[in-house]
Structure 1
Amino acid sequence: MKAEELLPLLGAHPFLDGLPAAHLARLAEGAFARSFPEGAFLLREGGEADALYLLAQGRVTLEIHRPGRDPVQVESLAGGDILGLHWLFPPRRWVLDARAVTPVRSIGLDAGHLRACSDADPALGYAVSLRLLRQLYARLERVRLQRLDVYRAEP
């Protein structure tokens, strides 16, 4: 898909909600559509963290690999979520696996392009950073609730 075809998809994703049209157009220049069949890996631990994925449809499980044992599922994501934050900082490697539980449709934002856009346009970089921080905060809250196991019935 071309940038102009991806533009409405970017604007419709909750992560980019409210982003000015000029910023969306700039991000679309480095965007690509990507689909994954059920069971496919979107990310593999140790691989190059080269994109931020905006999940449009489907479900993804985040897993930590354990040599000689089954992986541990640490989180589930769905359409409307984002996937992949390790492109931000060196060494820019994925630290877990992401597997499609159902067929997944996504829009990838090339990490190099995203970093370059953010450096060249501080307003765009700030807007993206705020959205990333909001996502990180929400995930930390989910982890906090999991650690507390607030839904487990007391004996």
Structure 2
Amino acid sequence: MTTSPDRPCGARLLAALPAGERESLSSLARNVVLPAGTRIFEEGEEADRFWILCSGTVALDIEIPGRGRAVVETIGADGLLGWSWLCPPRQWHLGAETRDAVRAWEFDATAVRTLCAERPALGLALVTLVAETIGERLRATRTRLLDLYGPPTNGPAS
């Protein structure tokens, strides 16, 4: 399960984990391929898994009443797709769709939460990683919504 002979899938994310825990988490990964245009999940649905992207891109979107879906962020290789699996009520906060073919490691959320309960160092490292991801997504969503709904600019201020 590698992206290239010298760079494993999720190398940046896995580097954030304690060395002894990387293999524990990687052992739960399932290699998946998602064709372009695949709707991975919808806002409000049960969040029962997450992915580390090996290749391809996924657009995260939010449903805006009367306007349809607005993309708030695009995730590429080595990105974490999904954090809602960790936080009750465990429902997706955004929707996700592949922009092109995606190869990823897919993780069953229940199995990962069980492993984290057994291995607190892994649990803490994953919670920290997910918290960083939530912060990034909040900033990206805020910026995108300001682009869509913020006051118009009249050019540079004098």
| TM-score range relative to shorter protein | 0.7 to 0.9
Query: Equivalent residue for 2:79?
Result: 81
Q: Is the 8 A contact 1:13 1:56 kept in 2?
A: no
Identical residues among aligned pairs (%): 33
Query: Equivalent residue for 1:39?
Result: 37
Give per-residue Cα distances to partners, 1:25-70, cap 9 Å, x unaligned.
2112321111111101122233321112111111111122356753
Query: Equivalent residue for 1:71?
Result: 69
State the AA in 2 paired with 1:130: T
Query: Equivalent residue for 2:17?
Result: 19
> Could you list the runs of 5+ residues in structure 1 that have no partner in the other structure?
none
Query: Equivalent residue for 2:120?
Result: 122
Distance 2:41 2:24 in 1: 25
State the AA in 1 paired with 2:101: P
Q: How many residues align?
A: 148
> Could you list the runs of 5+ residues in structure 2 that have no partner in the other structure?
none
State the AA in 2 paired with 1:110: D
| TM-score of the two chains, using structure 1 as the length reference | 0.78
Query: Equivalent residue for 2:90?
Result: 92
Gap change, CA 1:147 and 1:65, over 3 Å in 2: closer
Query: Equivalent residue for 2:48?
Result: 50
